[in-house]
């Protein structure tokens, strides 16, 4: 996919600086060149595993081909998005997990931080945008207080159409629309399986009138932002979805070698893998940009759900995975960094730094008689946030704390596509290094079954009986 010029693409290249992970900077607290050489063979095996299984739906690796196989889908999405912008004043995603985290992350990254408060002209004609990512009744009521259902398009996202949270949202909204005499197919777009599942059944009841997009078989929810799950909401908002896909393809090219010196995603995976073996069980992602704040939420699901596994491919009980923690620079310098610098040596901090922000915002001169304040005059907010980013990384290094930095030239659709694809590849490589199934989620499924049992869903009577026979609560442990 052609996208601007080669020179521009290279200027927009996302890079990784891991100096502060190494013994060269951290001494005996850092990773040595010998340790990197020792895992070279495993790293190549991990790379080869991912490369050999690209696009295989049965292994849920269809996401690897999304930058290349969606030209017709993208054209259709862009046409649909144009119609949505003409007809509706609100666009609401009904979903949970990856179906919600991806769209809201891209919205936060690439649109005005107060987008919904802007007048229509400043929104470029795009509707106000909301994502329902929970079944908290207060949240649903709050949404209903600010939208007009008659002027709203709802994007229902669920591959199976059996996701309890999403279908609860659907039932509530469908009831409201029908009681107002409105047509569901005119107000809803389904993103679901190609031919099966409950949303397909609902569509059949309405004579196949719903506009539908396919969530591909080989794409799990947490890897779905670059398919119609994320591309449709982004297109409705006027985000350059071709740029996002081009950025992902560009990063894929940068990660085409089984060598950590030439593959940034593999380098990050190896660093995380070695640190795990050293007892670092917390993985902090700390972007220094409010636009990138929600990339940490999206990444937390990607990392935790992919790598928190009880058994490996050999059937051994391993209970692997590190806990992802979301943080925001500069905000969390005043809430978390004290722990990072002086607490346990159990963390790796990944910074995301931005070279050029959307604006600079000069700091006015004033209070020159107060040195603690006056020195700020004449600088810019961009200078300040970048200085605090570098200073925090340096302070962590001085304290012997592992950290590395992902550098983004600026935040745009192309660089966001790079960042997402790099983090997805990093996760896949890390799972291969750990010899686990990166793409299943058996722990989540057990929680779903317990929920079904409690709500009396047919077929879950055994689970309900098991829960009823669980040890009763002892009042002495309730205070």
- Exactly one of 132, 165, 225, 305 is catalytic; which is it? 305
CB 241 within 8 A of CB 231: yes
CB 244 within 8 A of CB 237: no
CB 290 within 8 A of CB 328: yes
Asked if 151 is an active-site residue, the reply is: no
CB 4 within 8 A of CB 391: no
CB 422 within 8 A of CB 251: yes
- Exactly one of 86, 179, 334, 476 is catalytic; which is it? 334
**How deeply is 415 buried, as exposed, middle or buried, from its count of CB atoms within 10 A (0-12, 13-18, 19+)?**
buried
| 409 SS3 class | strand
- What's the Cα-to-Cα distance from 443 to each of 70, 159, 306, rounded to whole Å? 32, 19, 11
**How far, in Å, CA of 406 to CA of 7, rounded?**
20
**How deeply is 459 buried, as exposed, middle or buried, from its count of CB atoms within 10 A (0-12, 13-18, 19+)?**
exposed
Asked if 334 is an active-site residue, the reply is: yes
CB 133 within 8 A of CB 104: yes
Residue 134: which of 176, 91, 163 has the closest Cα? 163
What size, in residues, is the chain?
Answer: 479
Asked if 305 is an active-site residue, the reply is: yes
- Which residues does the annotation mark as catalytic? 305, 334, 448
């Amino acid at each position: 996919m052609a996208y601007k010029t080669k020179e521009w693409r290279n200027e927009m290249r996302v890079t990784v600086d891991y100096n502060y992970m190494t013994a060269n900077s951290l001494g005996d607290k850092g990773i040595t060149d010998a340790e990197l050489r020792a895992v070279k063979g495993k790293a190549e095996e991990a790379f080869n595993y991912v490369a050999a299984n690209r696009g295989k739906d049965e292994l849920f690796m269809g996401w690897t081909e999304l930058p290349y196989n969606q030209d017709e889908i993208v054209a259709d999405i862009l046409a649909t998005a144009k119609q949505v912008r003409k007809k509706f004043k609100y666009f609401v995603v009904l979903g949970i997990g990856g179906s919600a985290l991806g769209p809201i992350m891209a919205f936060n990254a690439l649109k005005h931080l107060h987008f919904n408060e802007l007048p229509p002209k400043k929104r470029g004609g795009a509707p106000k945008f909301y994502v329902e990512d929970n079944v908290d009744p207060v949240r649903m009521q709050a949404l209903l207080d600010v939208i007009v259902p008659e002027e709203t398009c709802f994007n229902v996202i669920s591959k199976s159409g059996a996701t309890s949270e999403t279908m609860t949202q659907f039932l509530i909204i469908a009831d409201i629309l029908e009681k107002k005499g409105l047509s569901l197919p005119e107000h809803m777009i389904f993103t679901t399986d190609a031919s099966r599942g409950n949303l397909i059944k609902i569509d059949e009841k309405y004579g196949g009138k719903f506009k539908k997009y396919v969530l591909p078989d080989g794409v799990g929810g947490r890897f779905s932002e670059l398919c119609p799950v994320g591309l449709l909401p982004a297109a409705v908002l006027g985000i350059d979805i071709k740029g996002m896909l081009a950025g992902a393809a560009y990063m894929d090219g940068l990660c085409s070698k089984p060598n950590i010196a030439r593959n940034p995603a593999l380098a990050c995976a190896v660093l995380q893998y070695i640190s795990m073996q050293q007892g670092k069980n917390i993985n902090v992602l700390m972007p220094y940009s409010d636009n990138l704040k929600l990339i940490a939420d999206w990444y937390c699901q990607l990392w935790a759900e992919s790598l928190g596994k009880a058994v490996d491919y050999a059937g051994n009980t391993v209970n692997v995975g590190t806990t992802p923690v979301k943080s925001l620079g500069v905000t969390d310098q005043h809430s978390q960094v004290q722990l990072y610098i002086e607490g346990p040596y159990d963390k790796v901090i990944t910074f995301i730094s931005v070279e050029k922000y959307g604006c600079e915002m000069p700091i006015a001169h004033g209070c020159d008689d107060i040195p603690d304040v006056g020195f700020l005059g004449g600088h810019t907010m961009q200078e300040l946030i970048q200085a605090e980013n570098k200073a925090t990384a340096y302070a962590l290094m001085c304290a012997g704390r592992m950290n590395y930095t992902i550098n983004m030239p600026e935040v745009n659709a192309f660089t966001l596509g790079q960042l997402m694809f790099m983090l997805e590849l990093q996760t896949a490589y890390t799972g291969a290094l750990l010899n686990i199934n990166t793409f299943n989620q058996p722990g989540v499924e057990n929680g779903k079954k317990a929920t079904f049992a409690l709500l009396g869903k047919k077929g879950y009577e055994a689970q309900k009986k098991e829960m009823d026979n669980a040890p009763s609560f002892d009042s002495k442990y309730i205070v």
